[in-house]
Structure 1
């Protein structure tokens, strides 16, 4: 158990982070495409670790997501990507207390 969290609850929390990235961040527009549902898994895992194990701020998580979209994926709509990254990071940070209670 990471930091005393139940491994099953941790899996559920990670699944929620994955869904949020797919639904709300989705820089390449794959939400709803079953064959691509795992496209952001590595990023969701990193965001979850940042959130729960590292205590990252919304700004740090947003920076990570923005870097993934612009540098790793090579996307160029920087304004929209920054906005989405910021919104998703704030949402994730708002879930931290709920995630910690399990």
Structure 2
């Protein structure tokens, strides 16, 4: 059973899921309904980084490492950096 998230954590979790799918998207599946959950396995790890105060460089490095190591996709630095900036903006909104 998945524990219930508080409202702030649930909001951040949804935002991270959306950003990973529509912005980061290293394998190019955004817009494919059947692949909507493709990156869900990475959401909790990214949320953990955000809750623990990671900066844009740390989040970018984490996303690049996932793409490189888990997916074998290289050259994702730019989209990872864009996603990291958006994720930090979401964290700022959620934790106000």
TM-score range, shorter chain: 0.7 to 0.9
Cα deviation code 1:42-88 (max 9, x no counterpart): 21221111001x11111000000000001110013x2xx00111111
Structure 1 residue 22 and structure 2 residue 17: aligned?
no
RMSD over aligned Cα atoms: 1.4
Deviation at 1:17, TM superposition (A): 1.0
Q: Please, what TM-score do these two structures have when normalized by structure 1?
A: 0.82
Bigger helix fraction: 1
Kept in 1, the 8 Å contact 2:12–2:91? The answer is no
Q: Distance in 2 between matches of 1:10 and 1:16?
A: 10
**Unaligned 5+ residue runs, structure 1?**
1-5
Structure 1 residue 8 and structure 2 residue 7: aligned?
yes
Q: Distance in 1 between matches of 2:53 and 2:7?
A: 20
Q: Distance in 1 between matches of 2:77 and 2:46?
A: 16
Q: Distance in 2 between matches of 1:92 and 1:34?
A: 22
Q: Distance in 2 between matches of 1:44 and 1:86?
A: 16
Kept in 1, the 8 Å contact 2:22–2:30? The answer is yes
Kept in 1, the 8 Å contact 2:11–2:94? The answer is no
Q: Which runs of 4+ in 1 moved over 3 A?
A: none
Q: Please, what TM-score do these two structures have when normalized by structure 2?
A: 0.86
Which of 37, 54, 62 lines up with 1:64 in the alignment?
62
**Unaligned 5+ residue runs, structure 2?**
none
